[in-house]
C-alpha cells in the first residue's frame, strides 16, 4: 500500500514545463502546434536567426538621408544646381571622379566645411565608393547648415557601372 501512496504523492507534484506547453498547444492545429514546439525546443537557434536577420536588414530599414540615382545626379549637374563633394581619399579621387567634384576625405570633412560656405544654396551631392559611407558625410553637411543634401545611390561604382563619364 505504501507504493500506492507514493504514486499518489508523485501525481500531486507540479507539472513540468513540457506538460504545460502540451496543454497550451493542445488548442492549436497540429501545424501551429508543431511550429510552436520547434521554436520552443530550439529557442537559441531561432533567436540567433532573428538577430542576424535584423542586423542584415537594419541598414535598409533605417534611412539616414536622401538618396539620388545617377540619373538624378546627372540632371542636377546639367542644370548647374549641384555641388559635388567626393569623400574618398586622394588616391581614389585621382583615379576618377565626377566632373567639378571637390575632394574632401571623410576624415577631414568637419574641418573643411567652411570651404563650401558659398555653395549652401545649392544641392550638395555626396559621393563615396559604394554609397554607404556618404550618409555620415551628409549628416556632417546638414549640421554645417546645408539644407539640401543627397547621397549618390551606389556611389561612384554605380556611376561607372552605368557608363557615365568620370574625369581624372
- Give me the active site residues, please: 128
The answer to whether the Cα torsion of 20, 23, 28, 30 is positive or negative is positive
- Alpha-carbon span 123 to 59, nearest angstrom: 24
Q: How deeply is 106 buried, as exposed, middle or buried, from its count of CB atoms within 10 A (0-12, 13-18, 19+)?
A: middle
Query: Do residues 123 and 97 make contact, with C-beta atoms less than 8 angstroms apart?
Result: no
Query: DSSP string covering 114-129, please?
Result: GGGGGGTTSEEEEE-S
Amino acid at each position: 500500500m505504501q507504493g500506492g501512496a507514493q504514486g499518489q504523492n508523485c501525481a500531486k507534484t507540479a507539472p513540468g514545463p513540457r506538460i504545460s506547453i502540451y496543454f497550451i498547444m493542445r488548442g492549436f492545429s497540429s501545424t501551429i502546434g508543431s511550429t510552436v514546439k520547434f521554436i520552443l525546443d530550439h529557442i537559441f537557434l531561432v533567436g540567433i536567426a532573428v538577430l542576424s536577420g535584423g542586423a542584415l536588414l537594419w541598414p535598409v530599414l533605417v534611412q539616414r538621408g536622401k538618396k539620388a540615382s545617377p540619373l538624378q545626379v546627372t540632371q542636377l549637374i546639367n542644370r548647374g544646381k549641384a555641388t559635388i563633394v567626393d569623400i574618398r581619399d586622394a588616391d581614389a579621387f585621382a583615379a576618377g571622379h565626377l566632373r567639378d567634384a571637390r575632394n574632401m576625405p571623410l576624415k577631414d570633412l568637419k574641418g573643411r566645411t567652411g570651404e563650401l560656405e558659398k555653395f549652401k544654396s545649392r544641392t550638395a551631392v555626396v559621393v563615396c565608393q559604394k554609397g554607404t559611407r556618404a550618409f555620415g558625410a551628409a549628416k556632417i553637411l546638414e549640421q554645417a547648415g546645408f539644407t539640401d543634401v543627397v547621397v549618390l545611390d551606389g556611389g561612384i561604382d554605380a556611376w561607372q557601372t552605368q557608363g557615365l563619364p568620370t574625369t581624372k
